[in-house]
């Protein structure tokens, strides 16, 4: 693998802040996402660099030129000192801010199995060769063998999806209908004991730093700022197991929203992801109405909201993330979903949740090739029991009422949210989302307001089956 390049920068192969990882290496990454502000910060740095060069060329009293020369000498000395240490990979250099540095991995560093073997084994990463199938895999490329990370003898799922995509309802449906085979469930019960001791929750709708393995889903434990919380994993206590990514500790591994990181550690190891998605136009309107985990003003008009940076911080996490705008969040998350191998991802559009036939078709790979079985007594996909007076509606605990279901279906069908759009808003979004990304999700680029506001014909009008 001589001559393989690693690149540090804003977006890695997974579409998230960090680096492109070379198999068998564990580069040190910037753990504070506050320093990774996005492409707009890159532009600011480039503009500053251009200004500095103009001042240097002007040579006013020679001071700017001398300062530049001294800075370059100091930087060269730091690099020389850093890479003179034995066994230090070139990709281990930290990215300062969002610098787009390039490094060449030498033969001796890449093939030193004595140093890199244990790390590769912990991550489930096999060294990639030029002819390996994983080297041409859509997810793995020539960097990390994501297929190997998802290879496990015990099938287990993880739920992902952005806010306002129906993740709570999807969680309840999957958890009610599917199970692991009995031969696998015993092993998972033993793994879940530490999570139960922490009193972890068994539904992803609750904002918690800790989830027990439930139904076909894996569990996780987040790193928290408050070391007194028994449910958290304190970053300073290495004896407490957590679900942080071994390659990117700043990932929100236990948060079902946000970009997906396939290197997160779950209990048991995840073999596939169920991912809720929604067209960007409806999703952006919903986010403007109720922006979860948003660190900005909630008094903005829809046009202002679309064009403002979006900073977020999930509960219990140590750091925040800043995006160029809400449109960038949607595109970043979808790109991260496609970092997974096709065999390890199931997409469910929000419209599918209202059609059991279509939803059953989307989830059928769980039974056909992913190693899961139906709940005993069920022969087809059904909705969980609807909430009644005794079990009142609470979506955060997986309790849904039929009246709310019908109301949500009507809202999706009549597209009442579309009337707040202007043509300028529509053009702004379309300029920032590649059409091919929409096509891969089975969606389409909407170019006119008339098309955007047309009632949806995709939702079913037939009677639905309820359990």
Per-residue pLDDT tens over the stretch 96-133: 333 333 333 333 333 333 333 333 333 333 333 333 33
User: Are 180 and 375 in contact, with CB atoms under 8 Å apart?
Assistant: no
Tokens 């990882």 belong to: 21
pTM > 0.75:
no
Is residue 119 located within the same domain as residue 163? no
If asked whether residues 168 and 216 sit together in one domain, one would say: yes
- The pLDDT value given to residue 27: 31
Residues 374 and 252 in one domain: yes
Q: Show which of 105, 124, 143 is a domain's final residue.
A: 124
Buried (b) or exposed (e) across 85-116, using 16+ Cβ within 10 A? Answer: eeeebbbbbebeebeebebebbeebbeeeeeb
100 domain residue, yes or no: yes
C-alpha 149/C-alpha 144 separation (Å) is 9
Cis, bond preceding 341 (omega within 30 deg of 0): no
Please give the Cα distance from 152 to 237 (Å, whole number).
28
Q: What is the pLDDT of residues 360-392, one digit of tens each?
A: 999 999 999 999 999 999 999 999 999 987 778
CB 93 within 8 A of CB 82: yes
Both 74 and 179 in a single domain? no
SS3 call for 338: coil
Q: Report helix, strand or coil for 306.
A: helix
- Positions of the chain with pLDDT lower than 50, given as ranges: 1-61, 63-64, 82-142, 459-467
> Does 465 fall in a domain?
no
Distance CA 251, CA 220 (A): 13
Residues 120 and 162 in one domain: no
Report the pLDDT value the prediction gives residue 257, as an integer from 0 to 100. Answer: 94
CA distance 149 to 218: 15
Query: Is residue 393 a part of any domain in this protein?
Result: yes
Residue 460 lies in a domain: no
- Region at 311 (left for phi over 0; alpha for psi -120 to 50; beta for the rest): beta
Measured over the CA atoms of residue 59, residue 61, residue 65 and residue 67, the dihedral's sign is: negative
Domain boundary among 124, 144, 176: 124
Pair (117, 189) in one structural domain? no
Residue ranges in 33-166 assigned as alpha helix (H): 39-58, 63-83, 107-110, 113-123, 146-149
Residues 302 and 419 both lie in one domain: yes
Q: Which residues contact 432 (CB under 8 A, 6 or more apart)?
A: 325, 327, 328, 331
Statement to judge: residues 283 and 357 lie in one domain = yes
pLDDT for position 75? 62
State the Cα torsion 209-213-217-219 to the nearest 10°.
30
Q: Is the separation of the CB atoms in 294 and 310 below 8 Å?
A: yes
Calculate the alpha carbon distances from 79 to 73, 98, 460 in Å. Answer: 10, 17, 62
Whether 322 maps to a domain, the answer reads yes
Q: Are 192 and 318 found together in one domain?
A: yes
Distance CA 346, CA 427 (A): 30
103 and 192 fall within a common domain: no
Residue 144 belongs to some domain of the structure: no
Spatial separation of the C-alpha atoms in residues 466 and 177, rounded to whole Å: 12
Burial (0-12, 13-18, 19+ Cβ within 10 Å), 329: buried
The predicted structure's pLDDT at residue 199? 84
> ∠ CA 415-420-422 to the nearest 5 degrees?
110
Contact 156, 269 (CB under 8 A): yes
Q: Which two tokens stand for residue 427?
A: 């053009």
Alpha helix positions (H), 415-448: 423-430, 435-440
CA dist 287 and 291 (Å) reads 5
Short-list 1, 9, 3, CA closest to 27: 9
Residues 262 and 352 in one domain: yes
- Residue keyed to tokens 């539904």: 203
The CA distances from residue 285 to 296, 302, 413, in Å, are: 16, 8, 15
Exposed/middle/buried for residue 262 (C-beta within 10 Å: 0-12, 13-18, 19+): buried
| Same domain? 248 vs 300 | yes
Strand partners, 180: 372
Residues 205 and 398: beta-carbon distance below 8 Å: yes
* Cα 96 to Cα 82: distance, rounded to the nearest angstrom: 14
Please indicate, yes or no, if residue 355 is contained in any of the structural domains.
Answer: yes
Within a domain: residue 45?
yes
CA distance 225 to 276: 29
The whole-angstrom distance between residue 68's C-alpha and the CA centroid of its chain comes to 40
- Select from 124, 141, 174 the last residue of a domain: 124
Tokens 């085979």 belong to which residue?
Answer: 181
For 271, the domain range is: 157-453
Distance from C-alpha of 25 to C-alpha of 92, rounded to nearest angstrom: 9
pLDDT of residue 24: 34
Task: Yes or no: say if 426 and 451 are a contact pair by the CB < 8 Å rule.
Answer: no
The total domain count for the chain is 2
């Amino acid at each position: 693998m001589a001559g393989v390049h690693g690149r540090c920068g804003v977006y890695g192969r997974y579409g998230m802040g960090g680096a492109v990882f070379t198999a068998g290496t564990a580069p040190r990454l910037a753990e504070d996402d506050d320093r990774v502000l996005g492409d707009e910060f890159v532009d600011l740095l480039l503009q500053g660099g251009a200004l500095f060069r103009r001042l240097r060329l002007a040579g006013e009293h020679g001071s700017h030129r001398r300062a530049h020369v001294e800075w370059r000498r100091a930087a060269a000395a730091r690099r020389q000192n850093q890479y003179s240490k034995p066994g230090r990979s070139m990709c281990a250099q930290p990215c300062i801010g969002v610098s787009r540095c390039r490094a060449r991995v030498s033969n001796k560093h890449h093939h030193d199995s004595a140093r890199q073997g244990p790390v590769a084994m912990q991550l489930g990463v096999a060294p990639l060769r030029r002819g390996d199938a994983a080297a041409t895999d859509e997810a793995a490329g020539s960097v990390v063998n994501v297929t190997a990370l998802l290879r496990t003898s015990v099938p287990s799922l993880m739920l992902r999806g952005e806010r306002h995509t129906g993740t709570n309802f999807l969680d309840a449906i999957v958890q009610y209908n599917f199970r692991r085979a009995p031969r696998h469930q015993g092993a998972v019960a033993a793994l879940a004991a530490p999570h139960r001791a922490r009193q972890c929750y068994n539904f992803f709708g609750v904002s918690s730093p800790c989830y027990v393995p439930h139904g076909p889903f894996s569990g996780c434990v987040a790193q928290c700022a408050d070391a007194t919380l028994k449910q958290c994993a304190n970053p300073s206590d290495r004896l407490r197991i957590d679900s942080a990514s071994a390659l990117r500790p700043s990932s929100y591994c236990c948060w079902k929203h946000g970009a997906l990181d396939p290197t997160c550690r779950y209990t048991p190891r995840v073999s596939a992801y169920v991912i809720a998605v929604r067209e960007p136009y409806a999703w952006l309107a919903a986010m403007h109405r109720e922006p979860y985990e948003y660190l900005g003003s909630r008094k903005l008009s829809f046009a202002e909201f679309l064009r403002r940076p979006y900073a977020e911080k999930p509960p219990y996490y140590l750091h925040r993330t800043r995006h160029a705008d809400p449109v960038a969040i949607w595109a970043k998350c979808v790109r991260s979903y496609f970092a997974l191998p096709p065999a390890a991802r199931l997409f469910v559009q929000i419209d599918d949740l209202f059609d059991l036939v279509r939803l059953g078709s989307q989830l059928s790979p769980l039974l056909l090739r992913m190693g899961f079985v139906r709940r005993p007594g069920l022969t087809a996909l059904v909705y969980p029991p609807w909430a009644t007076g005794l079990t009142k509606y609470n979506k955060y605990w997986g309790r849904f009422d039929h009246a709310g279901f019908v109301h949500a279906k009507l809202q999706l069908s009549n597209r009442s949210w579309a009337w707040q759009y202007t043509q300028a808003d529509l053009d702004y979004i379309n300029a920032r989302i590649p059409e091919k990304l929409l096509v891969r999700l089975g969606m389409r680029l909407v170019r006119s307001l008339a098309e955007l506001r047309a009632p949806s014909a995709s939702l079913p009008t037939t009677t639905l089956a309820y359990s």
